[in-house]
Amino acid sequence: MQIRVINPNTTASMTKKIGEAAQHIAAPGTRVVATNPRSGPASIESHFDEAISAVGVLEEVRAGELEQADAYIIACFGDPGLLAARELTRAPVIGIAEAAFHMATLISTRFSIVTTLGRTGIIAEHLLQSYGFAHHCRRVRAAEIPVLDLEDKGNAALDRIIEECLRARDQDNIGAIVLGCGGMADLREQISREVGLPIVEGVTAAMKLAESLVSLGLGTSKHGDLAFPRPKAFSGQFEHLSQLGR
Ligand code: 2AL
């Protein structure tokens, strides 16, 4: 089984870290291919960053189709381009936010999210609403660290995340915590030990859901709105996307 894990930002060190966390949790026989778009933002911390990154995600799904990937994971907590990506393939496509929400509700009745910057909290709130998980989430918290601070070798960012997780545990009346950034893919076990609550991390959650769907022979439905896009002309820098429809 080949799972293509797409980091929607262009920071190669984060892509490597995400790929290693995904391969570490994978079943024997599952091969992880971790990629990021060639163009786009170095990190995704705004609606603007997210909109630009979505095109890169779609390019990576196109590339994965040529390599016959069995499943795709969108490894940014805003799940950029998720439904559009599903239109491009019969394989399952899973966003790390939706994967984490699903898993958290299987082990707790209420969870809080600990994300990076406060300004990106609204992105998580919109996803909770649109996916139907809003009433399961008590609070979206922010460690107030820029995404790329997670790439620093020191522990300052980790310490801030742990502090916020401890506040969530002590104040929010919750059973689990969801980590709200793809760059936290390697932190699950350490935070879990420090905080003593189940910590759900999206990349690892998405891996297990993707493997399950592939094992069950379940892929993206081509019946209805997730059918391949209708072929049409695209102009300018998007001309190469004209051939996307099938
Ligand atoms: C993210 C994420 O997961 N990757 C990135 O670049 N920005 N979102 C976030 N809330 O930190």
Give CA–CA dist 177/150, Å, rounded: 18
> Hey, whose CA ends up nearest to atom 11 of ligand 1?
181
**pTM exceeds 0.95:** yes
- Specify which residues 72 forms β-bridges with: 4, 93
Q: Is the CB of 14 under 6 A from ligand 1?
A: no
The preferred substitution site among 6, 45, 49, 53 for testing ligand 1, maximizing ligand atoms within 8 Å of CB, is 45
Give CA–CA dist 117/32, Å, rounded: 29
Q: Is the CB of 10 under 6 A from ligand 1?
A: no
pLDDT of residue 243: 66
Q: Is the CB of 115 under 6 A from ligand 1?
A: yes
Q: Is the CB of 197 under 6 A from ligand 1?
A: no
Which atom belonging to ligand 1 lies closest to the Cα atom of 116?
11
Q: To which H or E segment does residue 193 belong?
A: helix 188-195
Is-contact 169 196, C-beta < 8 A?
A: yes
> Hey, whose CA ends up nearest to atom 7 of ligand 1?
44
Q: Is the CB of 182 under 6 A from ligand 1?
A: yes
The preferred substitution site among 9, 48, 77 for testing ligand 1, maximizing ligand atoms within 8 Å of CB, is 77
**Sheet arrangement for strand 93-95:** 31-35, 2-6, 71-74, 93-95
Is-contact 43 49, C-beta < 8 A?
A: yes
Q: Is the CB of 11 under 6 A from ligand 1?
A: no
The pLDDT tens digits of the residues spanning 141-172 come to 999 999 999 998 778 999 999 999 999 999 99
Secondary structure string (H, E, C) spanning 10-53: CCHHHHHHHHHHHHHHCCCCCEEEEECCCCCCCCCCCHHHHHHH
Q: List the chain residues with pLDDT less than 50.
A: none
Q: For residue 182, report the distance from its CA to the centre of ligand 1, in Å.
A: 6
